[in-house]
Structure 1
Amino acid sequence: MKSRHLFMIALGGVIGTGLFLGSGITISKAGPLGAILAYLIGGFLMYLVMLCLGELAVAMPVSGSFQAYATKYISPSTGFMIGALYWFSWSNTIGLEFTSAGLLMQRWFPDIPIWVWCLIFGVVTFSLNALSARSYAESEFWFSSIKVTAIILFIGIGGAAVFGLIDLQGNQSAPLLSNFTTDQGLFPNGILGVLFTLVLVNFSFQGTELVGIAAGESEDPAKTLPRSIRNVVWRTLFFFVLAMFILVAILPYQTAGVVESPFVAVLDRMGIPYAADIMNFVILTAILSVANSGLYAASRMMWSLSKNGMAPNRLKKLSKKGVPINALLVTICIAGSSLITSVVAAETVYLWLISISGMVTIVVWMSICASQFFFRRKFIAEGGDLNTLAFKTPLYPFVPIMGFILYAIILISLIFIPDQRIGLYCGVPLIILCYTYYHLVIKKKQRKSIVSDQPLNKVQ
């Protein structure tokens, strides 16, 4: 993969349904200024994690990324837990994205069943990933380009409408900053409303860690990765914060969260023709991009687990193009089975599986901060020269410790958010299950393997 691929994978991985659909909930709960503040805080937290991931990924560019780092610098059992939960989370999310894409296609082709679109998108996504890492990267580059272009156009047109350069529908006067000076105040639900939306905002930034996984298959990661990380953080904040400013300036926060997408509502207010169809296409692109990246990330994570003796050996098999084909097949099969679950038990089991995705992201990002902390400490203890590190996390150990603690606070806050509490109810038992399985099954197998590989002592 080239530098442009890494940059777009990281940037495009963030711009998804969390922004296009979930931002309405953030606006309704946090208010105009609160929504912008929430994304600024979320972006700052993401920056801390990316600084930690940058040092690790440049020093050790492997496809397993943070799973391999957690295994080496925290503990093998933690590495297994991180890898297993991350793979499981993405595998089920892929199925959800296919279902969502099928629902969006119903707008244009109402007579074609959703499962047909799920099958089509599944075959296309699998084929792109099975060809080579380059084909995945190239397709993701164009998926992300569409999303980024849509955001730039939205910011440009929306900014013109906010300041009166373009008339709103019905010759409404330019809103300027009127929504920031309402009687309800800038924080209608108080500062707690902002804090509770940080969980949702964190979900929106999910996907930036993909750049660490892709680093193992990139050209000259020591050169391309630092540049990609620095660029993606600031440009992500630029896109998110400006887009949020346009949304809250034109759309009263009382109506946000009720409509399907705040972006569609704003385009309708500006009188943009075919606004709903335009955003339907952009959101469809975002969904397929997430599925494409999710399949890539999950298959590489399963391959890393197998390589470390934590999953069946047959999953280590690589195609002629270096693609972990068996891991890819297992992942797409699990994603397919989750489609069945979404139909049979849409309000129970499937929703439980998907609800832990956000919690898994928080746990993964906490592990990245912890891994960087222990990596640097070990590097210095062994006499390593910091000048030899091509990318160094600044303000060590402040950055990894602060990132870990702040994400721990967000994780604890799930207890006080009824809609998100199920993530803890499902996620905590799964974490315990992973640790138990590692110590009772995997560790036992690894010990037997070590014993069997040792030569027998000769009888004297």
Structure 2
Amino acid sequence: MTPLPGEKTLPNALPQTTATQVPLRRLQRTMDARHLIMIALGGVIGSGLFLSSGYTISQAGPLGAIIAYLVGAAVVYLVMACLGELAIAYPVSGAFHIYAARSIGPATGFTTAWLYWLCWVVALGSEFTASGILMQRWFPAVPVWVWCLIFAAILFTLNAISARVFGEAEFWFSLVKVLAIVALIVLGAAAIFGFTPLSGEHPPALLLSNFDTGEGLFPNGFSGVIVTALAVFYAFSGSELIGVAAGETKDPAKNIPRALRSTVLRLLILFVGAIAVIAAIIPWQEAGLTSSPFVDVFQYVGVPFAPDIMNFVIITALLSAGNSGLFSCARMLFSLAEEGHAPQAFTKLTKRGVPLFALSVSILIGLVSLLTSVIAADTVYLVLVSIAGFAVVAVWMSIVASQFFHRRRFVREGGVVADLSYRTPWYPLLPILAFVVLLISVVAIAFDPNQVAALYFGVPFVGACYLYFWLRHGRKGKQQSPRIDRESAPAE
């Protein structure tokens, strides 16, 4: 396309759009780096850490659990390093499938989008249900389905007002979770050394006594660590939400790299720190039997009303993850429609730049997935959950593969790597290493009976998406030109 006067055409940049292609309403760039960080943390920190971390320790042992989370954090860094370059090169909303469509092929982009959308739609139903069950601690007479509808209405409203309101809500939701984890790390670390000012019992210093399991460093063998590491990959899912929000971020070239670096560092400190403290205080044989290791640790250090406090924190964590998930679902449908791969009704925006129809459909399908968990738990819901679990690693694989092909094409078409606002380090080693590690994790799922259903249903779903796309659009397909703000395009 002919550039505007004074405008340069960049290698491998998104095609510029003409005035006739740009509607009067568009997504608004209203979010800062702090919003991106908390959106990513909101998507990652959920019931997995607050409720299931004890099971992780019981499977891998104290040291093994820490190693598994360190490996998970390393993989997150690899994926985020690739995501940074792509998110600035393609600063559009719901960007994962844009990366894949431009760098690999439109069929891959189409499949990536529907995988990720389904992943979060299924998660919505789970978050609402779990929140409703926890609310019964305080309101046992109120049915769970009532709380599900209340929470769905709250999250829908927060998302429907504007991206800025969503970002602010997610900031405060996530802050509650982060403060709870920081409190656990600080108070728990003090208790490990025998300092428990809140406790009337004042237990002695534990130091590293729990790490001496009596059965070696890895009481269930190193295979327990490997299986746990696979589960940790899923626990870290949500960190990629920064890419979904790229199209509604102020100054993407500045704020996206800052958010990526901060997110990886904070996840490393929060997750590994929390696991280390829990492993040091709760014996590994008992860790898998507790309903919430956070409650046990807070009671150990003498925090009053620990069960009620953690009930509130966990509900907040669930709603935070649901809030981020609903945002992601709406932007994925919006972006798919812009590409011509979903009904054009999904591109309609409110005056404040919110894809309201896409948002409405996403919340409704989320509630439908909730219903399937009740009326078809062993059939439809099992399939949905399995595909959703497979989708996490599949999307990460598409991100690192997209970065590899994006950079190669950028250089081939005359681009200068030094001119990129953000460069994935150690190219091409980093994306290749990330892809291989993720591929190994997918293959390893076949040997875990608790996760193998993800392959049984996930792989056929991917094949069906490719087949549908090729039958409808042909092998090459067709691509629209997504809107981007010219001032946020990569600078030469």
Matched residue, 1:454: none
CA offsets 1:58-98 (integer angstroms, 9 cap, x no match): 12211021110101111111111000111111111101110
Kindly, what percent of the aligned residue pairs are identical? 54
Q: Does residue 115 of structure 2 align to residue 115 of structure 1?
A: no
Which residue among 35, 48, 65 is the counterpart of 1:18? 48
Matched residue, 2:449: 418
Matched residue, 2:27: none
Which residue among 260, 282, 288 is the counterpart of 1:251? 282
Which residue among 257, 272, 275 is the counterpart of 1:241? 272
What is the alpha-carbon distance in structure 1 between the residues aligned to residue 122 and residue 294 of structure 2? Answer: 27
* SS in structure 1 at match of 2:285: coil
Bigger Cα displacement from structure 2, 270-279 vs 399-408: 270-279
- 1:261 Cα deviation after fit: 1.4
Equivalent residue letter for 1:427: G
- 1:445 Cα deviation after fit: 12
Matched residue, 1:453: none
Which residue among 191, 202, 211 is the counterpart of 1:161? 191
What aligned pairs does 1:7-406 form with structure 2 within 5 A after superposition? 7-166=37-196, 170-406=201-437
What is the alpha-carbon distance in structure 2 between the residues aligned to residue 445 and residue 327 of structure 1? Answer: 26
Equivalent residue letter for 2:281: I
- 1:444 Cα deviation after fit: 9.4
CA offsets 1:309-354 (integer angstroms, 9 cap, x no match): 1111111111111111111111111011112111112344213312
Aligned residues: 449
Unpaired segments ≥5 residues, structure 2 = 1-30, 481-492
Change (3 A) 1:300 1:443: farther
CA offsets 1:147-172 (integer angstroms, 9 cap, x no match): 11111111111111110011767543
What is the alpha-carbon distance in structure 2 between the residues aligned to residue 186 and residue 271 of structure 1? Answer: 30
Contact 1:169 1:270 in 2 (8 A): no
What is the alpha-carbon distance in structure 2 between the residues aligned to residue 300 and residue 398 of structure 1? Answer: 31
| TM-score, normalisation: structure 1 | 0.95
* SS in structure 1 at match of 2:286: coil
Equivalent residue letter for 2:109: G
* SS in structure 1 at match of 2:351: coil
Matched residue, 2:10: none
Contact 2:42 2:324 in 1 (8 A): no
* SS in structure 2 at match of 1:259: coil
| TM-score, normalisation: structure 2 | 0.89
Contact 1:18 1:203 in 2 (8 A): no
* SS in structure 2 at match of 1:254: helix
* SS in structure 2 at match of 1:45: helix
What is the alpha-carbon distance in structure 2 between the residues aligned to residue 446 and residue 231 of structure 1? Answer: 38
* SS in structure 2 at match of 1:413: helix
Say what the alpha-carbon RMSD is for the aligned residues.
Answer: 1.7
Contact 2:194 2:203 in 1 (8 A): no
What is the alpha-carbon distance in structure 1 between the residues aligned to residue 203 and residue 249 of structure 2? Answer: 50
